[in-house]
Amino acid sequence: MAQLRIGSRGSQLALWQANHIAALLRERGHGVEIEIIRTTGDKITDVALAQVGAKGMFTKEIEEALAENRVDLAVHSLKDLPTESAPGFDIAAITQRQDARDAFCSRRYESIDHLPDGARVGTSSMRRHAQLKALRPDLEIHPLRGNVDTRLRKLEAGEYDAVILAAAGLHRLGMADLIRQIIPADLMCPAAGQGALGIEIRTGDTMTAQHLEFLDDLAARAATTCERALLTKLGGGCQVPIGALAEMHDGELHLDAIVARPDGTRILRESGDGFDPVHLGETVGETLLERGADEILEEVYG
């Protein structure tokens, strides 16, 4: 059996994810150690993610550790991984997906609809910001950085009337009781890859790849490959107002996607069905571009 070293960020959620993968590997008889690596995204906590603009801000330092053979594999939230793998790295496994949707958390209010006029909602996601403003133009959306527990502490302290977080992260941390509403995907389209973990290794490390093969979920890989193909077609990263959710039905994929102006005044929606994940993602992405997504994204990047 192998002795494997996992590289992980140090947040509560990242460590849950790393320990989850470590436990599955130990069940197979492998020895596992976890090395905590601080990333650019962990160091910059006082600026909205969309304003930082650093590609791979939650992955770069971990990939450096992989390249230097300090770790053998890295466990990432798949939505944090750039859609094009950096040279020298492969995604060896995409795990079975948790709920991909976003969750509404509040101390006093049952749902987005129940928020009073002008309520303060916390999120640093431009995608969530845009869709919230489309639903409720009256809301005041404020930046919210930090780990899940930090964000929830700010909610408890009364800094916000509500915060929006990924449902999967709350479930993984045993905090699902804080969810007041799972936001339907037709109201808030999730981020590409949300709810799935991506296990990254060095290209050519066939031994580690074989050890991780059992973690690769075919349905999750097909769906997230489709979503990430759409993101690539649109030229977007994880901090742009693009949403994508693909789901498998009787062997066929259905993809819903949105591109939105950050202020929520314009949202383009498109969907499609197909059997080839990459072709479906690219086709829906091309249709969005033809309908004006390029103008919206140029505005964002500008």
Confidence of residue 27 (pLDDT cuts 50, 70, 90): very high
Distance CA 181, CA 205 (A): 43
The label of the residue with tokens 């959620």 reads: 13
Q: Look up residue 292 and give its DSSP letter.
A: I
| Region 275-299 average pLDDT | 96
The per-residue pLDDT for 42 is 62
Percentage of residues in the chain having pLDDT higher than 90: 79
The per-residue pLDDT for 282 is 98
Distance CA 235, CA 291 (A): 15
Mention every residue, 6+ apart, whose C-beta is less than 8 A from residue 11: 42, 147, 148
3-state secondary structure of 210: helix
- Identity (one letter) of the amino acid at 287? T
The per-residue pLDDT for 145 is 75
Confidence of residue 59 (pLDDT cuts 50, 70, 90): confident
pLDDT digits 0-9 by tens, 98-117:
999 999 999 999 999 999 99
Catalytic residue among 42, 72, 80, 99: 80
For the chain, give the mean pLDDT: 92
Residue 294 a catalytic site member: no
Q: Where does residue 16 rank: exposed (0-12), middle (13-18), buried (19+ CB within 10 A)?
A: middle
Contact 141, 118 (CB under 8 A): no
